Amino acid sequence: MNIPNKITMFRILLIPVFLVIMLARFDWGEIAILGTVMPVTHFVGALIFIFASSTDWIDGYYARKFNLVTNLGKFLDPLADKLLVASALIVLVELQLAPSWIVIVIIFREFAVTGLRAILAEGGEVVAANMLGKIKTWAQIIAISALLLHNIIFEYFSFPFADLSLWVAMIFTVWSGLDYFIKNKAVFINSK
């Protein structure tokens, strides 16, 4: 396994750490940052999520720079993103920081695209994420980070950045999912 794929695997291994920090109900007290008060566990969980998310850029950069792009990487990288994002979104619903219906829409899209990728892979075609998919991923990461951090900075100005960014993430998620299915409609047309 090459270094970019090891970085991707590390991202996957950070997910249970994130989940334990966020859901184990440790009593680490609260922290106040720029007028926003939040549990320390939410702050630490947000840092873990942000760090794990940043490894997506690192492994992609490293794979392209040193020509280490592999089919395993093309499969694992989006899977790691989906696992991390889905885990974080479910945590946000559990903590009542995100509406469940938006989370369901986002996770539904992720399962649908993963299913389509599996069908394409069965035919020998491995499709890397396109630019719209990358924008979708970063929109989700920004929204989740803002929600985990309780709308820090923007709360002081009474601006609902976290909530608005979740809507933007949902819109890009649906748009990129539709784009993915439209571009690969031949799978359905040619199926028996």
**Every domain of the chain and the residues it spans:** 3-189
| Structure-block tokens of residue 58 | 């690192």
Span of 13-17, 100-104, 130-134, 160-164 with lowest mean pLDDT: 130-134
178 phi, psi to nearest 5 deg: -60, -45
- Left if phi > 0, otherwise alpha if psi is -120 to 50, otherwise beta: which for 29? left
Predicted confidence band at 170 (pLDDT cuts at 50, 70, 90)? very high
- Separation between Cα atoms, residue 99 and residue 82, nearest integer Å: 18
Tell whether the model's pLDDT for residue 135 goes beyond 90.
Answer: yes
Listed residue (51, 50, 32) closest to 150, CA to CA: 32
pLDDT digits 0-9 by tens, 95-104: 999 999 999 9
Which pLDDT score is estimated for 129?
67
Please count the other Cβ atoms lying within 10 Å of the Cβ belonging to residue 13: 11
Superfamily for domain range 3-189: CDP-alcohol phosphotransferase transmembrane (TM) domain (1.20.120.1760)
